[in-house]
Every structure is written in C-alpha cells, then in structure tokens.
Amino acid sequence: MRLFNSVVVRPPVKGITKCVSTHPLRHTVSYDLAVKQHENYVKILREEGIEVYKSPPLEEHPDSVFIQDTGVVRSPSKSALIARFGEPSRRGEEVSVREFLRGMGFTVVDVKEPATLEGGDVLVTKEGVIFVGVTSRTNLQGVEALRRFFKEYKVISVPTDKVFHLLAAVNYIGNKTLVIVPELVDPSYFTGFKLIRIPLEEAYAANMLYLGDNKVLVPEGYPKTSEILKREGYRVIEVDVSEFRKCDGGVTCLSLALYEV
C-alpha cells in the first residue's frame, strides 16, 4: 500500500531567484527551467497514479514551490497540521495552504508560537512511527505539536544539525526501510528499520520520494544511489531538479503529501 495517493503542489514563481539557499549557484537559478522541471515532476507523479492538486503560485514568496514545508496532512482523518516556519522569511506561505486544504474539507490545526515545525523535518512511515528532526527550523515545542497531532503514533525526535531538514539525510521507501546518509544523521535513532546507506558524495539523492509498489522518484545524476536502489529491488524513476537544488530544495520538498495514515 502507498504512503500517499495524492499531493498538493505549487508552481515556482519568478522570484525563485531570491530563494533562501546556501548553494553556491543559487544566483544562477533559471525560472523558465524551474517551471519546466516542475511540470515534468507533476507529469511523472500523475503517470504513476498520484492525484495532483495545484495550489495557486505565491509571487511574494520565493521559496513557495517547496510546499512540503507548509504542513503535515492526514488523508483518512481529513486533518492537517499547519506549519509555523522556523525560517522567518518563509512565514506566510502556509496561509494559502491552510485555506486550500479547508476548501478540500480538511480540519486544520495551527502550530502556535513559540513552536516551530517545518514539513521537511517530518518523516512519516507506515509502521506506526513518525520521526521528526530537531533542527534550526523545527524546535522541541514543534515536536510536541506533532505528537499531539499523531496521538496514536510513536513520535521520535532526532537531533539534526548537519542538514537544515531531516529529510535531506533520511527518507522512507516502504518495506520498513529507510535510505540514510549516516554521516549526516545518527542511524541509532532508526532502530527496527532496515537502513540502506547512501554515499556521502551523493547525499543530495537521499531526498527521494517513495511512490509505492517499490518505485522511488530520485533526482537525476546520482548513479551510485540508483544502482544501490536497483540492487535492493526498487524501480528507480529519475527527475531533473537542478534548479531546485540550487535553492536547497529536493524531490520531497516539491509536494505536500496527503498521507494515508
């Protein structure tokens, strides 16, 4: 069974060149290429049977294409936890997502000050366990907000200081299995899961999206990672996200999953 059957996406905006990023090439982001790459990303999801809802672009928010960070959504209970960004310049992106989800019939709960929580720190599994990074973007009060939202789940907090979101270092790919870059996050927090190591030189590829049925969407250009996954029995689907990488964003960041949990 899939972790999610539908997602919400938001197109990139012309101001994406002003994204919050540590990447040395952040000033070379091409808006036109970003639009094409985003359209291709959506096309792949739809081809794999994922329902894609489109939220309108937010011109005043350069990073708003990274919609995953705006919340955590549970499809069966029609409930959503709306983020409070740890990155102050991104606050406000969540407002339209809150209204969009309300329009879809979801009940929304807001993360309240002083808590901060960003979706890129929340690792949802089908095994009754949620991991959450304690990072520069998500604090301990944010973890408590997530615990209240996932009352019946075990929520494990993972101190994370080498990447700014947990999902930049570890991701769930079904079958009680995680991909992980052990140099970037302590593997001991993930007891009970099979861990597949992604080499440090291809760490960006660890931010991958599990599409169900042993299919994984990975960024293009990481041959070692693709080979490792194929050896483990996964079907690898590659997508070019070069412009989003320049904005410190990855494959999971571009969609807000409506989790089947």
Active site residue 253: yes
Separation of first and last alpha carbons in the chain:
11
Strands 154-159 and 129-134 come out as: parallel
Which of 19, 38, 61, 165 is an active site residue?
A: 165
Work out the angle at residue 252's Cα, subtended by the Cα atoms of residues 210 and 123, and round it to the nearest 5 degrees: 75
- The answer to whether 160 and 169 have CB atoms below 8 angstroms apart is yes
**Six-digit token string for 189:** 């927090």
**Six-digit token string for 234:** 């996964």
| 211 Cα distance to chain centroid | 13
Distance of alpha carbon 121 from alpha carbon 130, whole angstroms:
10
Q: Which residues pair with 215 in a beta bridge?
A: 212, 235
What distance separates the 2 farthest-apart alpha carbons in the chain? 45
3-state helix, strand, coil in the chain (%, to 5): 35, 25, 40
Q: How many residues does the chain have?
A: 261
**Judging by beta carbons within 10 Å of its beta carbon (0-12, 13-18, 19+), is residue 77 exposed, middle or buried?**
exposed
- The answer to whether 183 and 161 have CB atoms below 8 angstroms apart is no
Active site residue 247: no
- The answer to whether 90 and 20 have CB atoms below 8 angstroms apart is yes
DSSP state of 57: P
Which of 19, 38, 247, 253 is an active site residue?
A: 253
User: Which residues are marked as active site?
Assistant: 165, 253
